[in-house]
Amino acid sequence: MLKLYHAAPFANSGKVLIALKEKEIPFESHFIDLHRFEQHEPWFLKLNPDGQVPVLDHDGFLVTQTTIISEYLEDAFPDTPTLRPADAVDIARMRLWNKYIDEHVMEAVSIHGWQVRARATALSLDEDEFERYIARIPLEKQRKKWRQAREGFPQADLDAATEKVRDAAKRVEDQLQDGPWLVGDMFTFADINFYCYCGGALERMFPSIGNRDTCPRLLDWVDRVHARPGVAAALAMDVPQSVGDAKRK
Amino acid sequence: MLKLYHAAPFANSGKVLIALKEKEIPFESHFIDLHRFEQHEPWFLKLNPDGQVPVLDHDGFLVTQTTIISEYLEDAFPDTPTLRPADAVDIARMRLWNKYIDEHVMEAVSIHGWQVRARATALSLDEDEFERYIARIPLEKQRKKWRQAREGFPQADLDAATEKVRDAAKRVEDQLQDGPWLVGDMFTFADINFYCYCGGALERMFPSIGNRDTCPRLLDWVDRVHARPGVAAALAMDVPQSVGDAKRK
C-alpha cells in the first residue's frame, strides 16, 4: 500500500501529489498541518527524522526528498504514465532543471511565502510557545528559518530572492522558445517541479515578473499545466484549510 | 566521441573519472589546472558557464554536475558494467546517499581542503593579480570561497565542518554494519561519491575521525574501494602536477 504524508498541494507536497495523480497511482492521503507544526511531532519524526513533508511510505519503505520520491515513483511503477523521458540526453536535461530548481529557485520563492504565511503563524504564538515549537525542529536550518520568519526576513534578502526568481523566469521563458515543456515535447518532473516551486505562484506572488509582457510563454505554459487532468485533480484535493494559527491546535 | 574536462582524480573530477574507468568507457581526457584558474578561461566558460569541472562532452552534448553525469553514463551506456542498482528501493537509497553527500558532506570536507591548497594558490598572487582572477569567476559563491581561502576560513567554520564530517563518518560506519557497500551488496555511485568527497581523504585529513578505533568498518571499506581495478586505474591516471602557484602560468 502506498501512503503519502503531505501538506496542501503546492511546493514540496504539490510535486508529489501531482506526480501521483498524473501517474494515476492510487494512494492513501495523510494530511499534515505545517502551521500546527505536526511535522515535528514525535510520531512524525519516526517517519522522517528531519521533520519535513512529504514522506512516501511504500509497503514500509519510507522515501523523502521530493525529487527522489518522483524518480522512485517512476522506477517502482514503470507501467504507469511516465513523467521521465526515455532518452538519456533528455533525462539529463530534466535532472539539470530539477537540480537548478531544487537548489536555487525553491528557496528564493520560499522565503517570500514564509514572510507571509509562516510569519503569521509565528506571530500568533507568544514567545514561550514559539520557542517550545522551535526546540522540537530537528534541522538547524529550519529553526533559523522559523526565527527569521518571526522577526521578518531582511528586505535585502527578499530583494535578492526576487532577483533569483526573475532570473529563473527568464530561463524558463527562453527555454519555452524551443517547445511546449521544459524538456522537449514531453511533460516531465521538471515541469511539475518548476510549477510547484515557482511558476504556479508567479502571477500572484511576483506580478512584476509573472505578467504577459515579461513572460508570455511562461504564462501560456502555466495554462497548459493547469489543463492537465492529473494536475487539476491534485489541485482540487480536499485538504483541510491550514489555519496559520498554531494556538488553535 | 566522449571527452572529459577534469582536474586530478579526487573530489568532483574523481567521481566521474572513477565512474568512467569502472564502467570501462573509453574517453578523451582534457586536464584542467584549477590552481591556474583554467576553469575560468573564456574558452572553458563556453563549455560550462559556471566555470567548474568536470564537464562531459558526449558528441557535443555537454553535461555538468557530477551526480547527473554519473546517472547519464548509466543511461547512455546501458551495456557497460553498472554502478546503479536495478531495484527501485535500492536506487532510491543510492540517490538519498548521493543527495546527502553532495549537499552536506562535500562542502564540509572541501573547506578544509581549500584552507590548505586554494589558500596557498591565493597567497601566491599579489592582491591585484588575485582580484583579476576572482573577477572572472562566474559564481558568486565561488568568488566568496576564494576570498575566504585567501583570508583563511574562520576556525569556527572549520570546526563546524569537522563535526559534519564526524557525523557523516558515523553514518557510513553504521551503514556498513549491514553490508560491504553503502547500498546492499553492490558497489554504486554512492560509494564513489563518499569515497571522492570524504572517505578517501579521511585518514589523512581527519585522523581523529578516520582511524581504526573510531571507524574500523569505514577504513576496511576504503581498502575495498582501493582494490577495485577501475578505482585503481583512475587514481593512477597520469595528470600534470597542479602547482598551487598561479604565477607560473
ipTM of the complex in this document: 0.93
pLDDT of residue A32: 96
Strand ranges of the sheet holding B28-31, from the earlier edge strand across to the other edge: B28-31, B2-6, B55-58, B61-63
Question: Which carries the bigger pLDDT value, residue B146 or residue A239?
Answer: B146
pLDDT of residue B242: 52
| Cβ–Cβ under 8 Å, residues B71 and A91 | yes
Contact (CB<8Å) A76/B88: yes
Q: How far is B228 from chain A (nearest CA, A)?
A: 27
pLDDT of residue B245: 41
Nearest residue in chain A measured CA to CA from B86? A75
Contact (CB<8Å) A96/B72: no
Chosen for mutation from B16, B73, B75 (greatest number of chain A CBs closer than 10 Å) is B75
Query: What pLDDT digit, counting tens, does each position of B187-212 carry?
Result: 999 999 999 999 999 999 999 999 99
Q: Averaged over B103-108, what is the pLDDT?
A: 96
A vs B, Cβ pairs < 8 A, gives 46
Print pLDDT tens along chain A (249 aa): 899 999 999 999 999 999 999 999 999 999 999 988 999 999 999 999 999 999 999 999 999 999 999 999 999 999 999 999 999 999 999 999 999 999 999 999 999 999 999 999 999 999 999 999 999 999 999 999 999 999 999 999 999 999 999 999 999 999 999 999 999 899 999 999 999 999 999 999 999 999 999 999 999 999 999 999 999 999 999 777 654 444 443
Nearest residue in chain B measured CA to CA from A71? B92
In the numeric block, the cell 518571526 is attached to A150
pLDDT of residue A54: 98
In the numeric block, the cell 506572488 is attached to A205
Of residues A87, A107, A84, the one with CA closest to residue A12: A107
Nearest residue in chain B measured CA to CA from A100? B65
Interface residues of A toward B, Cβ cutoff 8 Å, are 61, 63-65, 68, 71-72, 75-76, 88-89, 91-92, 95-96, 99
Q: How far is B104 from chain A (nearest CA, A)?
A: 12
- Is the confidence at residue B167, as pLDDT, over 80? yes
Distance between CA atoms of residues B191 and B145, nearest Å: 27
Q: How far is B195 from chain A (nearest CA, A)?
A: 22
